[in-house]
Structure formats: structure tokens, C-alpha cells
A and B are shown apart, each in its own frame.
Chain A
Amino acid sequence: MATRYEPEGLATTDDAADGIEPAPKRAGGGGAGSSGPRSPSGGRGSGAPRGDAGLGVRGWLRWTWRQLTSMRVALLLLLLLAVVALPGAFFPQRTSDPNAVQQYFLDHPDTADLLDSLHLFDVYASPWFSAVYLLLFVSLIGCILPRTWVHLKNLRAEPSRVPSRFTRFDVRGQARAVGTPEQVRRSLDAALGRRYRRRLASERGRTADGEARTALTISAERGFGRETGNLVFHLALVGLLVVTAWGQLVHYRGQVVVVQGDTFVNSPLDFDSFDTGSWYGADAQEPFRVRLDSFESEFTVDSQARDFVAGVTLTETDGATRTADVRVNHPLETNDTRIYLTGNGFAPRFTVTDGSGEVAFSGAVPFLPTADPNYTSNGVVMVPDANGGERQLGFNGVLLPTATADEEGNLIGSAYPQPLDPAVVLNVWVGDLGLDNGVPQNLYLLDTTNMEQVLTTAEDGTEGPVQVVLRPGESVDLPDGLGTITFEDLPRFAAFDVRYDPSIVWMGVFAGLAFAGLVASLFLPRRRIWVRLVAGADGDTVVSAAALARGDDPGLQRELDRVLAVLDSDQAATSKEDR
């Protein structure tokens, strides 16, 4: 059967293919060309279905399907996808920056709710975004599957017959060669090379003066990889979408802050935050443990970060332990989980005794770095057990890794991110921390609703809040016999993300396939060469040839010349056309 071959949308080649091999043009169906079943006008059904009463539901469905799989609608959806993706770049997104969303609600309280109801803070999970990409993928599948089918058939089909007239083609060649048509055909056949699939045939025709004669023909074609690549690219995109969705269902991700010397277990209980897909099963979670042995950071003189290294000991499920360094860009891999270093800071260790002299609190408290490159960090110390829980103590304040003071000796900031001269400045609160009422609490924020700030009277008689300034090893008595607080030492903390997502590998596979397919579909030439050989009057052979490519192919004439160059021709190609 004739191989369907539709040119790539260039009007110049359109008429060339026309009439040689009638390509069946089923709207929404056949056609192996890149334009394929997607006809530009939306196929046969570009208007509303005719026969108003007769079509019924099936007719409308068919019409809708044709519309959806038409190239015009696909293009529209593609552009629409670009448009609906953009708002996510302008509005903060919950998935990537939840704090910015909260801030937006505080800054623009009058519009935030409206924007939220339009899903502008979760653009990529919104119904309208999903609708566009799902429709696009349905359209893509509706187009690609029939084309894949046609292409598979074409792969098995023989090259098409030689067209009767070569004049229609822009790229032609003609020569006279020494030897019989069979000999010439053999040498041309060899010159074509391995890349071409070919069909050798003979045909009966008549010369201009009505004499019967036989012509030998070669019909050769190459470049099926172009369409294969095209299909692989599109199918790989579908694969990418499917594995991404699967990954969303089975993944889990936990975030944890670990102070130097501490250990965390890969279990939901140990994480500060934990989210999973709906197919997540807790038994699938590898029960490894990670201990943070050391944390080192490196900065330039002007406080620019250069390296962060978290030295950890990993105890795996079978009890085997190994040490490893976790760096930015170098996650730690267990069997199926990856552990990423996402943050770091200082966790000053405090001991607090209450009024009765009992140790009410002892431990390291992570202080979260602010935007300051010199690691000015905010933190909270909560002492719920102070004074038997009656008068609980709370401290909030800042940590300055390299404290700098103004002329009066007040600490004003940090001069360097490393702890060259660390100090904490704390406010003291007393009252009810609000930890016992069951409402989850932010551990980095002191809820002072039911607390009272401890004040002191300065030398000039004004009353002001007590500010406790401590350097490592220092201890301070709190006023009013509340107790003491000691700044023991300054370990560091590291923040880790633990992520399990088995779809990542498959994403890589499909992305690689898509890329390879794209390259093939854009750069592999799809070419056909036809040759007709007729015995000449003086025992030589008249060779006429034509070539056709899909899309732009500046090398086509060169290719035809290359093939014809093997002929020992002493006559240059002429424009005279031999039937």
C-alpha cells in the first residue's frame, strides 16, 4: 500500500505529494505527517455539527472529540497553559513559600480572601489550571495514539511507488550513465547506503512517440526516526505526567531540625513537619536513624557562605552504621530515601533554675536565623516546669554569633556569621505559656497573651523590660527571685528534609526519552528518493531522479547529488524531462 506522506505544512511541497499517492485524509484519524490528524481547521467538524436533530448525543460527542484533538484547539490549550501558569509567578504560592502567603494575608487583608477563593495561592493545584493541562493531555493522547498506530503500520509498509511525473518536485536530477539499466540500478542502490529502505521495481510505459518500453525504478526512503522521535517525545510527556501523579500519591517528606549530638528517627513522630500522599503507608518507611555528629560552615570575609557540611552517622534498618557528610547539592542516600541539608543555625544550650533552686529546664534551643547574612537569630526558651508550673517562665530574644556593641555598650547586631563572640539578649516573661490547652504551638514564637513581661527599674527611675545579656558560660539571676538562667554553650543545628519519592527515577527516564525524541523529531531528515532508469538509444541509460523531504531540508539537493555522483556520467543534468 502507499505510504502516507504528508508534507510538513509547506505549501510548496503540498502539491508535490498531491495526486501521486492519495493520502487518505480522515479528519481526526489517519495521516502520518507531522500535521497528522490534527488538521489546522479543527478537522471536518470545524463548524457545529450539521443535521441539527439527527446527530444527537453521539454526534455532539464526536464533534467535541474532533475539536479537542484538532491542532487549533491544542495550540489554544498550549497558549492557555502558558497564561494560567503565570499567576503563580506573581502571587506567593503555599507550596513553595507558605510564609509569604501568610504575609500577603497580613499586608492585603481586603484582597487576600478574594484571591484565595480564586486559588491564586495554589495556582498549580487549582481547578482551572488542572482543567487546562488535563484537557491538553487528553488532546495530546487523542492525537498521538492514532498517529502511533499509523506509524507502526508505516514501519512495516514498503516504500511507495515511484510517482509518474518528476516535474512536480523541486529537487530533481538527470543524467546519462554508461551501462544497462540493471547495472546502473545496482550502483545507485549501493550508493544509497544502509539508511534507506528501498523498493526496486519495473514499470511499463510509453515514450512520447507511442513506443512501448520498460523502465526500472528505485523508490527509497529514510528517516522514520523523525516521526518515531515525535511520538516518543509526546508519549514521554504523558509518561512524565503519570509518574508525577503517582509520585504525589506515594511520596512522603519530613522536615526535622537536629542539634549537634542529637539523633532523629525516620518516623512521622520525629519530624517537625511531615506530609504524605494519600497512598502512603507508614510501614513502608525505612526505620533508619541519623545522628548529627558535627556541623561545619565556611564563610568569606564579607560573610558570604561558601560551604556547609553536616557530618552524620547513619544507622540503617539492619543495624549497620556508617558516617557520611551531607552537603547542599549532595544529599545522603539510604536505600530508598534521600536526606537533604536545607538549613542550619545555632542552638544555644540553657539551664534554667526556678525560685526553689530546682533545675526547671536544660537543653539546646534552636534559634532561627533571620535574613541577616551574619546569622542574627531569633529564638524562644520555654520553661513550663518552673515553680511547679504555677508561674511558668518564658524567654524570647536574639542570638548574635559575633556580637557588636554601640558606644554605650548596648549590643546592636552581629558582625560575622561564625561564633567569634556569641551573645544572647533575652526578654523575660512570666505567666502561662499556654502549652497545656492542647492547641499546637509554634516553638519559635512566644505566646505572650497570658504572660507578663518582667520589668526592672533603671537608675534614673524609669521602668523598662529586663534584658538578660549572656555569653557562653555566664549565668544571671532573674529579678524577683524567679531563678537563674545559664548560657552553657553554643552547639549548631542542621535542618534536614527527608524525602521518599520513587517516581524520581521514572521522571528522569521519561525526561530523557522526551529529550531524545525531541532531538530526533527536529533534526532527523525524512527523505524520499525516486529514480527511473530507461535504456537509452546508444546502449547507455537515461537516469531521472527526484527527491522529497518533509519540512525544511537544505541538504536534500546535496543528498540527491551525492547518490547520482556514483554514475559515471559525462553529461550534466539537464532540465529536459524524460518520461
Chain B
Amino acid sequence: MNSDLGDISTLLIYGAMASYVVAMIAFAVDVSALGVGAPKDRRRRAAGIGLSTMWLGAGLQFVGIVVRGLAAGRVPWANMYEFTLMFTFFVVAIFLGLQTRRDVRYLGVAVSMLAFLALMLAVSVLYVEADGVQPALRSYWLVIHVSVATLATGLSGLAAIISIAQLIKARSERASAGSATMAASGSTAEVTSGAAGGGTSSTATAVAETATESGATFGSRIVGSLPASANMERLAYRLNAVGFVAWTFTLVAGAIWAEHAWGRPWGWDPKETWTFVIWVIYAAYLHARVTTGWAAEKFAYFALVGFMAVLANFYIVNIFFSGKHSYAGV
């Protein structure tokens, strides 16, 4: 429609990508400073630069999305390229929003990397000119259904990043708990740590022991600076809970739209099937979590599997499966 505006939008997205790269490097510098033993309470200038460029990138991306919508004369989330713009924006925006309330700078590297990689894939493979949409998409449900789906993807993505950090941290916590027990109770250490940490604990204990003896390693100092895994688990849970509500809404709104457009609310179209599977995985995650007697790491694996299904639903199903959602393709 308006190709000049479309080009401006693309340029803005390139700008956002550049910002995310700078942010990623800055955050990486910050983290590696921790790794070589910088004090935790130092002034973290690199992280500050990372955050500022993240804000810049998010701002550029937001304007880019708005301009894209103006260029196409419709809401800017009607194909895979625009879907990627939206969900990466949500990942970054939710990260920045969280950062205003608590310190989540430890996520900076991963968030900026995810945003950059997804955008890279979008501009290089998924890009299409800003244009109108086919009749099946001309519905206000496009506005509702798809935007909430992008939000849900963003929430699940950020939660998955936190879950990964949680798993790494939990590993080192188990290890150090094991070595602490060892130091404290001497000869009974093996028995106690075995009970506390499960099968892998003996190796973990050994690793932790070497670490304590030879001083902290690069990796262990970084992991040591992460918040307690239980705190990260709670944060991931909250994001996933909101994400689950958003997925539920996407599912219900999608069914209503399908009823309008195709004359049936549910038809086990590949996209519908995958979305259903994702919903079930996250439902299982929530159920597992409210049930006592499970270690926190297990929920994290559920959430990770859920996010992998989200990615599969987007990248694999849209491109390789033919179904009624095919128009949402490249």
C-alpha cells in the first residue's frame, strides 16, 4: 500500500535489532565482570548501558510496529513477520517492565539475544511487504485473537528464559548444599547429600567441592550471582500463569472467530491441535505446581516443553503443515 512507510518501518526494526545487539554485548560484559570476581555491589555501568539500549530498542521497535500498521492500513500482526515483531516486543517490554520493579538484569543477555535472533529470522526469512489481508483475515477478531496470541508467546518466552536460569541455579544450589553437608557432618555426608539431591548429587558434590577448594570458577561466580532458584521459579510461575490465561483467551477467541469464518468453532486444524496441545502442557504445569511433593525443577521442565511447543506451533506448523491457518504463513 504505502511502500515508503513500510521501508521506514523496516529501518526502525533494523535499528531495534542493532540496539538489542549492543544491549546483549553490554549485558554480557556486565555478567563476565561478575565472572572474574567483581564485587556484587559494584556500580554496574555495563548493565546500565545494556538497559538503556534495551529501552531504545523497544522504543524503536514500537514505532516500527506502529508505522508498519500505518503502511499496511490495518493492525500490524497479520503474518509471521509481524507476529515476530509483536512477540519479541512483548518479551522485551515485559522484561523492562519487570526491571522497574525488581532487579532482573541477570536476564538481559538472554532476553536481548532471543529478541535479536527472532527478529533476524523474521527480517531475513519471514519478511513480506506491508499490505492488506485476504478476506478470511478481514475481521475484528484478527485484532483480538492474534494480539493476545503474541502477548501469550511473549510471556511464555520470558518465563522460559527464567526457567532456564532457575534450572542452572538449582543445579549449583544442590551442589553447594551437598558440599555444605559434607563439611558439616563429615562421614555421614554421602548419605545426607544423596538423600537431598537425588541421583546426580554425588557428582555435583564432587564438583562443588573442587570449586570451593580451588576458589570459585568463572561460571560458578556468575551462577552464584543469580537470585535463589525458588525466587526465579515463583517469577516464572507468575508469568506462566498470566501466559496461560492469555493462551486460554487466544483459544476461546480463536474458536469464536473460526465459528464466524469457517462455520465451526473447532475443527482440529493443525494449528488448532497444536494450540490445544500447548494449552494442555501449561495446564499440566499449573496442576503439577499446586500439587505438593514435586521438586521445583520439574515444573521448569514442563514450562520449557510448553515453550518449545509454542515455537513449534509458530515456526514449524505455519511453514510445514497445510491447514486453514496457512494464510498466516510467510
Interface positions of A (Cβ within 8 A of B): 8-9, 11, 14, 34-35, 38, 40-41, 71-72, 74-75, 78-79, 81-82, 85-86, 88-89, 93, 95-97, 100, 123-124, 244, 253, 300, 304-308, 327-331, 338, 340, 342, 497, 499, 504, 507-508, 511-512, 514-515, 518-519, 522-523, 551-552
Which are the 7 A-B pairs with shortest beta-carbon distances?
A40-B293, A328-B135, A9-B292, A340-B263, A329-B139, A82-B280, A89-B273
Q: Given A78-B280, A78-B283, A96-B323 in contact, is the A328-B136 Cβ separation under 8 Å?
A: yes
With a cutoff of 8 Å between Cβ atoms, the chain A residues found around residue B255 in the complex are 507, 511
* Residues A499 and B256 in contact, CB atoms below 8 Å apart: no
Q: Given A89-B321, A123-B268 in contact, is the A308-B248 Cβ separation under 8 Å?
A: no
* Segment of B19-27, B32-40, B208-216, B238-246 engaged in the interface with chain A: B238-246
User: A96: nearest residue on chain B (CB-CB)?
Assistant: B267
* Residues B268 and A88 in contact, CB atoms below 8 Å apart: yes
Min distance, Cβ B241 to any Cβ of chain A, angstroms: 5
Min distance, Cβ B54 to any Cβ of chain A, angstroms: 24
A75 to B265, CA, bound (A): 26
Given contacts A79-B284, A518-B244, 7 further A-B pairs with CB under 8 A are A9-B294, A96-B268, A96-B323, A300-B131, A307-B138, A522-B241, A523-B241
Min distance, Cβ B288 to any Cβ of chain A, angstroms: 6
A75 to B284, CA, bound (A): 6
* Residues B269 and A71 in contact, CB atoms below 8 Å apart: no
Min distance, Cβ A277 to any Cβ of chain B, angstroms: 13
With a cutoff of 8 Å between Cβ atoms, the chain B residues found around residue A551 in the complex are 290
With a cutoff of 8 Å between Cβ atoms, the chain B residues found around residue A123 in the complex are 268
Interface size on B, residues (CB 8 A): 54
Interface residues of B in 252-291 (CB under 8 A from A): 252, 255-257, 259-270, 273-274, 276-277, 280-281, 283-284, 286-291
Task: Describe B's contact surface by its main secondary structure.
Answer: helix
With a cutoff of 8 Å between Cβ atoms, the chain A residues found around residue B268 in the complex are 88, 93, 95-96, 123-124
Q: Does B249 contact A (CB under 8 A)?
A: yes
List, sorted by A's number, 12 A–B pairs whose CB atoms are closer than 8 Å: A11-B292, A40-B293, A75-B284, A75-B288, A79-B280, A82-B277, A85-B273, A95-B267, A123-B268, A330-B260, A342-B263, A514-B252
* Residues A89 and B270 in contact, CB atoms below 8 Å apart: yes
User: B306: nearest residue on chain A (CB-CB)?
Assistant: A82
* Residues B265 and A507 in contact, CB atoms below 8 Å apart: yes
Min distance, Cβ B310 to any Cβ of chain A, angstroms: 13
A504 to B252, CA, bound (A): 12
Min distance, Cβ B318 to any Cβ of chain A, angstroms: 12
Q: Does B134 contact A (CB under 8 A)?
A: yes
A552 to B141, CA, bound (A): 34
* Residues A515 and B252 in contact, CB atoms below 8 Å apart: yes
With a cutoff of 8 Å between Cβ atoms, the chain A residues found around residue B262 in the complex are 340, 342
A308 to B280, CA, bound (A): 37
A124 to B272, CA, bound (A): 13
With a cutoff of 8 Å between Cβ atoms, the chain A residues found around residue B260 in the complex are 329-331
Min distance, Cβ B129 to any Cβ of chain A, angstroms: 10
Min distance, Cβ A424 to any Cβ of chain B, angstroms: 26
User: B257: nearest residue on chain A (CB-CB)?
Assistant: A329
